[in-house]
Chains A and B, each alone.
Chain A
């Protein structure tokens, strides 16, 4: 029963979010602030993860493709497609669910518990619009950017690992990247990125916004937010693949 309650309240929160800003300038400021929190704040971790996952895919693909009949450039193709289709959007977003999701949930949870949300309400500010909407929009703007960066860095990481371990020379790798490239994969990755961005921002916002109790509950809410976001990302991942591929 609890889950229906949660879903209902989540939808009510999303609906309550749509209202006219009291002061466009303040909302813009909040939006930019969130873009920098979410985007710049997770750039480092995204870069590290993507370089390593590209590198690992190169090494492992080479390990699996033992047959001398298969040209080396295939490794580049495989790395390119797995990075673009799965690693860059899904893996990065799961990590972001942890980084960004827990930040959003604990920030809002703390504001709820220390009555800062009530203080805003009393001033006549729609807190759903002021606190939640900028986070979701910021996530929708910057997370796809992060995914694109992750894709580029992942492929580059694969190239680096290939040349460092002498598996595949950079020129062959570059040539392989251009073979049978489908633009649709990139578009599909962006669909995923947008869906995941919405999940990563709205679900933790829900758990944080409706926290009841004290500091302990903030911790619980942010853990729950991350777990639920991750599960939702994987469900959405499967669903999108089944529908769009």
Chain B
């Protein structure tokens, strides 16, 4: 479990995160959503300690990460896997070496065992025959997937993904979402995902935190989100006319105003 308590973060005199609190449970996907520039990345970086929050603290399994000394922080960090928005692959290393890097650093496994593990995770993110390529030779989406592979190679207890499926096609996005969801449940990971992809929200959002200009505007689950009355949240979710119409239809259906034989499919025509 990760608890965020009253986090505040400013750059110069511009406050980017305003007193955000949240509780992110273990074994489920916790999503931070919001428009571009709403502070998702900054909040995530505060959570992992890449930014020092000006106020408030972050607790990992009840222990204050913010107040820990360096060596205790290192212990927690060894249990963290993180995918960066820009992938952050080591560009002097090949795909295989990138994914193997955490294993080289923190295990004393044999090369054969490490290679097996690397191929296993690369396989899970649908990457084959790219082992010997350098990051510069990959597409943006492939880099993302290598980043995910590197983040999960050590079986982390906490997984942070900053926009895992921006720049991916809907099909691959779905594969990645499913993968994140699967490993979260399989290994009982506390997963935090930044996204603005509504598909992911509906697919894997067990807990959703909606950020609006650095404030926590709404929180809840994917079951509740489409029925939320929050104006700003609705503007964000139902940005497309199609979805708006679909929602109205759904609501009308529920109230029994229209016959059940008309369904969402009609709207597309």
A binds B: yes
B-binding residues in A (CB < 8 A): 22-23, 25-26, 110-111, 114-116, 118-119, 121-126
Contacts of B82 in A (CB 8 A): 119, 122
Contacts of A119 in B (CB 8 A): 82, 84, 88, 90
B78 within 8 A of A: yes
Q: How far is the CA of A119 from the CA of B76 in the complex (A)?
A: 14
Instruction: Please determine whether B50 and A118 come into contact, CB atoms closer than 8 angstroms.
Output: yes
CB distance from A29 to the nearest CB of B (A): 9
Q: How far is the CA of A123 from the CA of B48 in the complex (A)?
A: 11
Q: How far is the CA of A227 from the CA of B95 in the complex (A)?
A: 36
Q: How far is the CA of A126 from the CA of B50 in the complex (A)?
A: 13
26 contacts between A and B (CB under 8 A): A22-B105, A23-B105, A23-B106, A26-B104, A110-B91, A114-B88, A115-B84, A115-B86, A116-B88, A116-B89, A116-B90, A116-B91, A119-B84, A119-B88, A119-B90, A121-B77, A122-B48, A122-B77, A123-B78, A123-B80, A123-B105, A123-B106, A124-B77, A124-B106, A125-B105, A126-B74
Instruction: Please determine whether B50 and A121 come into contact, CB atoms closer than 8 angstroms.
Output: yes
Residue of chain B at shortest CB distance from A122: B82
B102 within 8 A of A: yes
Q: How far is the CA of A212 from the CA of B133 in the complex (A)?
A: 29
Q: Which of A23, A25, A115 contacts B88, CB < 8 Å?
A: A115
CB distance from B164 to the nearest CB of A (A): 15
B13 within 8 A of A: no
CB distance from B225 to the nearest CB of A (A): 29
Residue of chain B at shortest CB distance from A125: B105
Instruction: Please determine whether A22 and B106 come into contact, CB atoms closer than 8 angstroms.
Output: yes
CB distance from B147 to the nearest CB of A (A): 8
B254 within 8 A of A: no
Apart from A26-B104, A114-B86, A126-B74, what 14 extra A-B contacts exist at CB < 8 Å? A25-B104, A115-B86, A115-B88, A119-B88, A121-B50, A122-B80, A123-B77, A123-B101, A123-B106, A124-B74, A124-B76, A124-B78, A124-B80, A124-B106
> Top 7 A-B pairs ranked by shortest CB distance?
A124-B77, A115-B88, A119-B88, A124-B78, A124-B74, A122-B82, A115-B84
B residues 62-102 in Cβ contact with A at 8 Å:
70, 74-78, 80-82, 84, 86, 88-91, 101-102
Contacts of B70 in A (CB 8 A): 126
CB distance from B101 to the nearest CB of A (A): 8
Q: How far is the CA of A126 from the CA of B101 in the complex (A)?
A: 14
Contacts of A125 in B (CB 8 A): 105
Contacts of B84 in A (CB 8 A): 115, 118-119
User: Which of B70, B76, B77, B105 counts the most chain A CB atoms within 10 A?
Assistant: B105
A-binding residues in B (CB < 8 A): 45, 48, 50, 70, 74-78, 80-82, 84, 86, 88-91, 101-102, 104-106
Contacts of A25 in B (CB 8 A): 104
CB distance from B68 to the nearest CB of A (A): 12
CB distance from B110 to the nearest CB of A (A): 13
Contacts of A122 in B (CB 8 A): 48, 50, 77, 80-82
Contacts of A124 in B (CB 8 A): 74-78, 80, 106
Q: How far is the CA of A119 from the CA of B86 in the complex (A)?
A: 11
CB distance from A133 to the nearest CB of B (A): 15
Instruction: Please determine whether B80 and A26 come into contact, CB atoms closer than 8 angstroms.
Output: no
Contacts of B78 in A (CB 8 A): 123-124
Q: How far is the CA of A118 from the CA of B41 in the complex (A)?
A: 13
Contacts of B89 in A (CB 8 A): 116
Q: How far is the CA of A123 from the CA of B77 in the complex (A)?
A: 6
Residue of chain B at shortest CB distance from A29: B104
CB distance from B48 to the nearest CB of A (A): 6
Contacts of A110 in B (CB 8 A): 91
Q: How far is the CA of A119 from the CA of B106 in the complex (A)?
A: 15
CB distance from A127 to the nearest CB of B (A): 11
Instruction: Please determine whether B105 and A26 come into contact, CB atoms closer than 8 angstroms.
Output: yes
